[in-house]
Structure formats: C-alpha cells, structure tokens
Chains A and B, each alone.
Chain A
Amino acid sequence: MTDPDKAYNVIDEPPGVRTPLVTGRHSYASLTDTVSHVAEMKTPLAWYIAFAISVFWVGVLGVGVIYLISTGVGIWGHKNPVYWGWPIVNFVFWVGIGHAGTLISAILFLFRQNWRTGINRFAEAMTIFAVICAALFPGIHIGRVWLAYWLAPYPNQMAMWPQFRSPLMWDVFAVSTYFTVSLLFWYMGMIPDLATLRDRTKSRIAGLAYGLFSLGWNGSSRQWHRYEVAYGLLAALAAPLVLSVHTIVSFDFAVSQLPGWHTTIFPPYFVAGAIFSGFAMVISLAVPARAFFGLKDIITRRHLENMCKVITATGTMVGYAYMMEFFIAWYSGSPYEKFAFINRALGPYAWAYWTMISCNVISPQVFWFKWARTTPWFMFVVSIFVNIGMWFERFVITVTSLSRDFLPSSWDYFRPTTWDVLFLIGSFGLFFTLFLLFCRFLPVVAIAEVKGVMAPVNPPEHAEYRTQLVH
C-alpha cells in the first residue's frame, strides 16, 4: 500500500482544486472498517507501553496531591511576593488547549467548514481531557481542599455567598459550563458511532457497554432528524463559549490592579492564544495518531495544512498583542506599566520572555511556506514549540508581574520546587492516560459525519480519475 501522504501532491495542487477530504479508495464500508479497527484491534504493545508511562505519572500526581493536602501549598514554590505560581500557569495552559476542540466542533460547524469532520471527535476529546487537567489545579491550590464546595453558591448556615465580584468566581461558572457543554456535545455527536461499534463488536461486554451508551440508536430517519437538530442547538450553545471562557480566565489577571495584568487587551489576546495553543496540541496529537492508527486517508494533509494556517493566523495575533502591550505601556505614561514591560523583556525573566517570543511569534511564521505546512513531522516539531511557548506565555504573565510590583523592597526571584515540576508532568500523564483510553475504546473519528462529506466525490472510480486530474 502506498503512503496516502504521497498519493496526493498537495504542494503542486493547482489553484481551485482541492484534495478530497477523504483520500484513498474508500467506500462507506471501508471507512467504517478503518475507524472501527482502531477500537477493535488487539491492543498493540506500543499502546501498553505508552499507557504504563502515562499511568505512572498519574500515580506521581496522586502522591503529589495527597502530599499537598496533608502538608499545604508550601510544597510549591509560592512565597512572597509570588503567590500565584505554576498551578495558575498550568490551569490557564490547559484551559487554553481545550479551546481548539470547541472551535472546531462548534464554530467551524456553524460556518459549514466540512474539513472539521475528520478531526472534530479527536479535538473534542482533547478539549474534555484538557479541561479536566485544568480543573485539577484550582481545585487543589485553594489550600483547604475539603472546603472546595465553598466555590459553589448555595444557601448555607454561614449565610455566606462566594464573592460574586471576583473573576475567580466567574471562572468557576465559565469553566464548569464549558466542561458540561463540551462533554454533552462530544457525547451526543458520538452516539451514532457508538451504535456502529455496538453492531460490529463480537464481545458481549463491549456490546452491552456500547449498547447502553448508544442509547438505543437505530439510525431511523426520525432519530437522525432529532440528532441533527440537537447537534445544531448544542453547536450554537457552545460557540459563544469559545470566546467567553478564556475571556473570563483573562479577567483573573486583567481585573486586578497589577502592572502587566491590568490591560484591556487581555480578553481577545487570551482567546487568540488559547486557539493557537489548542490547534498546536491537536497537531501534536493528530500527527502521530494518524500514522500509528492508519488514519492518513481521513486526517489528510489538507486537514493538517488548514490547522497550520489557523496556527499562523492566531500566532500572528498573539505577536501583535505582545507588541501592543509595549506600545500601551509607553503610551499610557504610567511609570509602573512601563517598568513592568521593560522588566519582562530585559529583567531577570528575560530568558522566559524570549523563549516565549521565539516559540509563539517566530516559529509559526514558517507555515507561510507550503512545504512546512504540509510536512507532518515538521509541523509536529513546530507544534511542540508552540506548546512550550504558550506555557511560557502564562508563566511570563503570572510571574514577572508579581515578582517585581510596586514596592522594590518586596521584589524576589521565583523558583519552582521539584513538586511544581512533578505536578506539571503529572498533569500531562493524566491527559495522555485519558487520551489513550479514548483511542482504545471509542470511535476516534466521527464516522457518520465523514461519510457525509465524502458522499458524492469518492466512489473508487471517481477517486482514481481525480488522482489523475490532480497529478
């Protein structure tokens, strides 16, 4: 079998012609076979190895959480004047990653961008798992974890409510709404495919499990009709969340008075950054997964190329925001604001700032070249840089502003502890554990939706004709 990536010469594609969304000689049946095979095949050894490594880090995270609860937040590097360290950095990092899923599933759906079907299941799963990782950090950094339910407004014997004027409170609502809607959207979209797996499986237990979760789906037109209506409604509900969630996360900083945080550019800049990092993570996951699970015909280079374009666009917006922050710092005439930004670029955290600039602003510019945005291994490398850069962005924002604020006598240099690092790696362990389970047991591509976009163009004989045409 030839490599599907070689079958279509996307680089020399003439204008006006696009690679089909599903390449190869796929019929409806072979498409179902290909995707179902991922969940049905004998578990490969590589999966066990990857899963063992991920679960090990979940174990480390678990030990860390127990140690944290029994000892207190002092095990992290927080000390005067930096009381918001890595946990908030990790929280914003993970929430940001989640945004690609919602953008792909909701906004691209509403704009009828058909190429989303190949990657939406994948990206939505990533969203759910990223939000779980994100929710972990505010959950454990509140100090008295056993009182976490105080975050919820409910009538209580203390006659007390959470501080509704605090953006941290808004965060609780924003993130929990986001998680609920994303989960519903992901699950509802999966029901027809779960029914497919139910009908194919030979195992009694798997049949029962898929049968329960596919909610008695039988593919009647009445069910399809209701499914489409519900899907559209959920997409409409989820679309504003793409903008609202990271806007509110940015309020955590922007509503405070601290120079470097107190800026009105934060909401749009955070949203752009979130989509930027989310798409980078989708590429980091999709490139190896499509090769490993044989999905190159479904997640084609055209899909990857489109995502690279989004990365360049949002990366450039983020770069613009970085510049604008400096302009406003000068234009405001506020000496504190000016100092905050000069300190960012030239102060003790200059290494972090320039890491951020190189990864976030410079590295995505390579995607102006068609070769770069159609070569999977290369975009994988760039996407890792973007992930690193976006983590550093949150680090730079959080730590540089806090470590040198209004009062020079309280300035200090923040150093993370070993536990800070272990919690970050542990959260990746949790993310990959969930993701590997997803790859093993659930339909990784939206089979039914992909069939919708391949319908007229791809009976084998036409595909062959098309291949000739493109070459």
Chain B
Amino acid sequence: MGRFTFPAWVNSLVLPGLGLIGLGVLYLSVLVPYALSPETLVAGYQPTQPVPFSHALHAGQLKMDCRYCHTHVFDSAHSNVPATATCANCHNGSKAPDGTNSTTAVHTESLRLAPVRHSIETGESIEWNRVHDLPDYAYFNHSAHVNRGVSCVECHGRVDKMDVVKRVSPMNMGWCLDCHRHPTEHLRPLEFITKLDWEPPQGQTKKEVGEKVREDLGIRSLTDCSTCHR
C-alpha cells in the first residue's frame, strides 16, 4: 500500500477542532465548577416540615426572641430544636374547667396544629426535617460563635422573614474560612446577637463596629485545621 498521508480535508478540521477544545476547556473550567459548587447544590434547600410552623409569624411579627425556643444556643455546641413542650406553652389545646378555651391557649382547634397536640398527648416527637446539616468531620459550636459577636443572621439569614426555613448559606469549607479569615465585618455587640434586623448606629459602618467588638472580646482569626477538624 502507499504511504499514509493526511488527506487535504484534515486541514478543514483544524479550526473547528481548536474551537471544540476551547469550548471544552470553557465547559470544564466554568460550567462544571458552577454546577458542582455548594452554592448550586446546597444553598436554597427548603424541605416541607410536618407542621407548617412560620418563623415569619413568630420571630417576625410577634418578635419572639430566637432563644425562646432555641434555648441552649448560648450554652452548648448544638442549638436545639425545641421540644413540643415549648410549643405547648401556647398551643397545648387545654380547656378551662368550664369547657371554654383557656386564655393562654392559642388556636386550640387549628388543624395545622394537630401534630403538635398529638405529640403532647402521646409524648412522641415531631419529626422535623433537618435543614442545616454539617458533615460529622467538621466540628461546629454554636455557643462559640454567638458568644463572640457572630449573629444568627450571619449564617441563617433573615429567618424572621421565612415562612418555611430555607438554607441560605452554602456552608462549605471555603465559606467558613472566608469569615474565619476576615471576621471583622461579621461581628456585632453581644446584646444584638439575636436581633436579625440590626443595623450599625448612625455614622458607623459594620466594619467599625466589628473592629471594636473584635478588640473588646479579643477575637482571633482561627484557621488551623484543628479548629474545625478535631
């Protein structure tokens, strides 16, 4: 057979070939990382809950403090979801001796609260769906953050405006480190930790306020591996 040589039409493949390679590089370096990023995959998670509890109503309109329900957030690593007993403070459905509704009971007949009343009667827990779940190899401590000037809103967003809680932050390692490396703008005086709509006082920026908090509380920028991976 004759020697193999490249036929002339191969030349016409050069430009489209280069273009295809360029597109491939673009796809791999832009689209794939975007699609696989935690912002795309994780943020925005909003599961339906067994009880249509509205934070917008309780924390927003009624201005209940976060700590009324999440009682241990300042004392423990884990911020607890309240026991049904906490709901029962208002929604126990108990009747006064004369059969009328108790003055301290709210919406005693509401169908939406049926699972709460069932839980109170039987003692079975309401199976809430967890919205924020960090991997087990990442150590996170709520009390370490809220006692050091980091407000709930920094990670959980404006929960006081959510009817159904939604995960607003990607909560990936880069996101954590971003704040650990540059914490100043995310700090506020301790008395405003649970005030989700807090704004810095007139004439001051968040950064200036944060700077002072950082100084007062002696906050360091902890970025060692062992800070979170213990």
When each residue 143-157 of chain B gets 1 if its CB lies under 8 Å from chain A and 0 otherwise, what string results?
A: 000000000000000
Q: Which residues of A contact B189 (CB under 8 A)?
A: none
Q: Which residues of B contact A204 (CB under 8 A)?
A: 1
Contacts A156-B174, A157-B38, A158-B172: A216 and B6 contacting too (C-beta < 8 A)?
Answer: yes
> Out of A156, A158, A159, A198, which one reaches B4, CB within 8 Å?
A198
- Whether A157 pairs with B172 at a CB distance below 8 angstroms is yes
A-B contact pairs, 12 of them (CB 8 A): A157-B37, A157-B38, A157-B173, A158-B174, A159-B173, A159-B178, A160-B173, A160-B177, A207-B1, A207-B3, A210-B4, A211-B3
Contacts A156-B174, A159-B173, A159-B178: A198 and B37 contacting too (C-beta < 8 A)?
Answer: no
> Out of B1, B5, B37, B174, which one reaches A216, CB within 8 Å?
B5
> Out of B3, B170, B177, which one reaches A198, CB within 8 Å?
B3
When each residue 164-182 of chain B gets 1 if its CB lies under 8 Å from chain A and 0 otherwise, what string results?
A: 0000001011100110000
Total residues of chain B contacting the partner, CB 8 A: 13
Q: Which residues of A contact B1 (CB under 8 A)?
A: 202, 204, 207
Q: Which residues of B contact A198 (CB under 8 A)?
A: 3-4
Contacts A157-B37, A157-B38, A157-B172: A211 and B4 contacting too (C-beta < 8 A)?
Answer: yes
Contacts A157-B37, A157-B38: A199 and B174 contacting too (C-beta < 8 A)?
Answer: no
A208 to B174, CA, bound (A): 50
Residue ranges of A at the interface with B (Cβ–Cβ < 8 Å):
156-160, 198-199, 202, 204, 207-208, 210-212, 216, 218
- Whether B3 pairs with A199 at a CB distance below 8 angstroms is yes
A199 to B1, CA, bound (A): 9
Q: Which residues of B contact A156 (CB under 8 A)?
A: 174
- B142 → chain A, closest Cβ, in Å? 22
- A209 → chain B, closest Cβ, in Å? 9
With A159-B173, A160-B177, A216-B5 known, 13 other A-B pairs at CB within 8 A are A156-B174, A157-B172, A158-B174, A159-B174, A160-B173, A198-B4, A199-B3, A204-B1, A207-B1, A207-B4, A211-B6, A212-B4, A218-B5
A216 to B177, CA, bound (A): 53
Q: Which residues of B contact A211 (CB under 8 A)?
A: 3-6
- A239 → chain B, closest Cβ, in Å? 31
A156 to B178, CA, bound (A): 13
Q: Which residues of A contact B173 (CB under 8 A)?
A: 157-160
A216 to B173, CA, bound (A): 50
A212 to B170, CA, bound (A): 48
* Cβ < 8 Å to A, chain B residues 1-37: 1, 3-6, 37
A210 to B4, CA, bound (A): 8
In the A-B complex, the 3 residue pairs with the smallest Cβ-Cβ separation, listed nearest first, are: A211-B4, A159-B174, A158-B173
For B4, B38, B174, B177, the residue with the greatest tally of chain A CB atoms inside 10 Å of its CB is: B4
Q: Which residues of A contact B3 (CB under 8 A)?
A: 198-199, 207, 211
Q: Which residues of A contact B174 (CB under 8 A)?
A: 156-160
Q: Which residues of B contact A218 (CB under 8 A)?
A: 5
A207 to B3, CA, bound (A): 7
A207 to B4, CA, bound (A): 6
A218 to B173, CA, bound (A): 56
For B1, B170, B178, the residue with the greatest tally of chain A CB atoms inside 10 Å of its CB is: B1
A198 to B1, CA, bound (A): 11
- A81 → chain B, closest Cβ, in Å? 23
Q: Which residues of B contact A159 (CB under 8 A)?
A: 173-174, 177-178
Q: Which residues of B contact A157 (CB under 8 A)?
A: 37-38, 170, 172-174
- A394 → chain B, closest Cβ, in Å? 30
Query: Which residue of chain A has its CB nearest to the CB of B5?
Result: A216
Query: Which residue of chain A has its CB nearest to the CB of B38?
Result: A157
For A159, A199, A210, A212, the residue with the greatest tally of chain B CB atoms inside 10 Å of its CB is: A159
Q: Which residues of B contact A210 (CB under 8 A)?
A: 4
* Cβ < 8 Å to A, chain B residues 158-215: 170, 172-174, 177-178
A160 to B229, CA, bound (A): 14
- A212 → chain B, closest Cβ, in Å? 8
